[in-house]
Chain A
Amino acid sequence: MTKRYWNIDLEEMMRAGVHFGHGTRKWNPRMAPYISAKRKGIHIINLTRTARFLSEACDLVFDAASRGKQFLIVGTKNKAADLVSRAAIRARCHYVNKKWLGGMLTNWSTTEKRLHKFRDLRTEQKTEGFHRLPKRDAAVLKRQLSRLETYLGGIKYMTGLPDIVIIIDQQEEYTALRECITLGIPTISLIDTNCNPDLADISIPANDDAIASIRFILNKLVFAICEGRSSYIQNS
C-alpha cells in the first residue's frame, strides 16, 4: 500500500469536534493510548493518532476499491442516518441506516429471500399490479414494500457478502460488528472513548456524537472510495 495524501487537516478536525470523547466516567481503559487529556469531565482524543489511523484506513479503502471490492456502511444513529445514506450513495456503496436486523450477514440466505420479495414487490408496483387486487390486499403489500424499503433499501444492490464494512458507532452497532467478526469480514469503525479498540480491524478514534465529526470522517473515506473506484474503472 503506497501512502497517499488524503488532505487530513488537524485544524479542520478540531473545528469539526472530532477530538471530543465521552464523559470520563464512561471510558474504556483500553482506549488509554488514544486519549491525550481530560478536560471538564470529558476525555480528549489525541488527534495525531486519529489522523494516522484515518490515513491508513483511507489507504486500505482506496486499495480495496481499486480492486473492485464491495463496501457496506453501517450507521443507525438517527443523527447519522441521513449522512450515511448520502455518503453511501455518493460513493456507490451499500448502506444500512435504519435498524441493523440481526443476522443480516450471518443469515444471508434468509436476507436474500427478503430481497427477492422486495424485488418482486417493486416489479409489481411498477407494472401496476396493485390496482388489480382488492384494496386491503394492496394496502398490505404496500405496507410490506415500505417496510422493506426502509430496512433493506440500502442493500438492494448487494448480491453477496460485502468485502469491507465501515461502522459508524461501535457501541450502537455491536451486533453488526460481531457478525463481521464471525464471518471474517474486515471492518473499519469509528471508536469513541467508551469502545473497545481491539474488536475492529482498523479502529479510528473519533467523536461519534457530533454530526460534524461523522461527516468529516465519512467524507474522507468516501473520497478514498471514489478515487479507488475511478482507478478501477480506468484499469479494467
Chain B
Amino acid sequence: MATTSALSSLSSLSLHNTTSRITTSSRPTISFSFLKRPSSLTPLKASSDQTETIFFEDQNPEITANAVFDPPSPPEGFVPAPYFDEGADETEAEIATAYEELYGPAYSGESMLGKDVNVMDSKLKKGGGGGIGGQKPKKEKIRDGFEERVVQVRRVTKVVKGGKQLKFRAIVVVGDKQGNVGVGCAKAKEVVAAVQKSAIDARRNLVQVPMTKYLTFPHRSEGDYGAAKVMLRPASPGTGVIAGGAVRIVLEMAGVENALGKQLGSNNALNNARATLAAVQQMRQFKDVALERGIPMEELWK
C-alpha cells in the first residue's frame, strides 16, 4: 500500500511522457526495474465503469497544484549533518582508500589496499568484448543467434582536392527468424568492415514483429519513411513471402512466412527497409488491443 501511494505520488508530480524510451535487449541498458515507470501501469487498468476518458490524469496541473509538502516528522534526536564542504578535509589517501573499497582500483593507477591495478585489463579480455560496444579482433560469423543479410553494397565517393576518396556503404538486415529484425547502414573503406559495422548498427535498433501462429501479420498496414511507402498485407499459409527487394529480405529475416508486400513510393532500398519496419511497428496483436480498450476480443472481429 505504501509503495502504490508512493508511486502514485511520484506519477502525480512528474509532468513526463515516458513513451519515447525504447529499451531493447541489445542496447547496454541498466534496468531501472526497482521503480516501475508509472506509464506502464496505466494501460492495464482500463475498467468498464470508467466512462470518462481522462488523458494525462497524472499530469493534471490542478493535482500538482494541490500537492502539499508534508514531510514526515523528524526522528527524535535528529542532528542535521554538516555541509559537505564544512567539516574536516580528508587526505588524498583516505579518499583513495574509500573509493577503492567501493569500486576497486579500476583506472586510478595506484592501489591503496594492495589490489591488482591491472584488474580492468583482464576483465576486458575475458568478459565483454561485444558487451558495451568493444570490438573483438576475431569475430564469429553469426553471434547471438542473429542472421545477417546484406541488402545493398554501394561504392560512394567523396571528392577532395587530391582526387576521389572511395568508401563502401553497406545496408544490412539482421534478424533471428523469431520476429526481431533490424536494419543498419554504415560506411567504411572496405566492404567487409562496412558490412560488420552496419550489422552492429542494425542490432542497435531492433523491432519486434507481431506474428500470428501461421507466421503472418495480424492485419494490413502501411508504413512510410522518406519517399518510400510500403504496404504489407497478411496472407494465408502456403503463400510465401511475395514482396520485392529490400522488403522481402526484411520479412524473411523476421521469420514471416506468408505475407504480401508492395513498394508504393520510391525504390530506394534503405528507405524501403526502414518503411517496412515503420509499418510493422504500427501493427498490434488482437489481444493487446482488447486489453488496452478493455473489451473482449470477439468485439474486435465484428
Contact = CB atoms under 8 A, between A and B. Distances in A.
Interface of A: 1-8, 10, 30, 32-33, 48-49, 51-53, 55-56, 59-60, 63-64, 67, 70, 83, 86-87, 89-92, 107-109, 112, 115-116, 118-123, 125-126, 152, 156-163, 181, 183-186, 197-198, 201-203, 215, 218-219, 222-223, 226, 229
B13 A157 contact: no
A122 B117 CA distance: 11
A122 B6 contact: no
Contacts of A183: 27-29
Given A30-B15, A184-B21, A157 B109 contact: no
A32 B15 CA distance: 11
Sort chain B's interface into a size bin: 35 or more
Select the residue from A49, A157, A161 with max chain B CB neighbours within 10 A: A157
12 contacts: A5-B74, A33-B65, A51-B69, A52-B69, A91-B84, A92-B98, A109-B134, A119-B109, A157-B102, A159-B103, A184-B29, A185-B29
B2 A2 contact: yes
A1 to B, nearest CB: 5
B14 interface: yes
9 interchain residue pairs of minimum CB distance: A122-B109, A115-B107, A90-B84, A157-B103, A119-B107, A48-B69, A184-B29, A109-B133, A157-B106
Contact of B17 (A67, A161, A198): A198
A117 to B, nearest CB: 9
Contacts of A92: 98-99, 102
Contact of A108 (B81, B104, B133): B133
Select the residue from B14, B69, B108 with max chain A CB neighbours within 10 A: B69
Nearest to A106: B133
A201 B16 contact: yes
Contacts of A157: 99-100, 102-104, 106-108
A32 B135 CA distance: 47
Select the residue from B3, B100, B132 with max chain A CB neighbours within 10 A: B132
B178 interface: no
A56 B8 CA distance: 12
B32 A126 contact: no
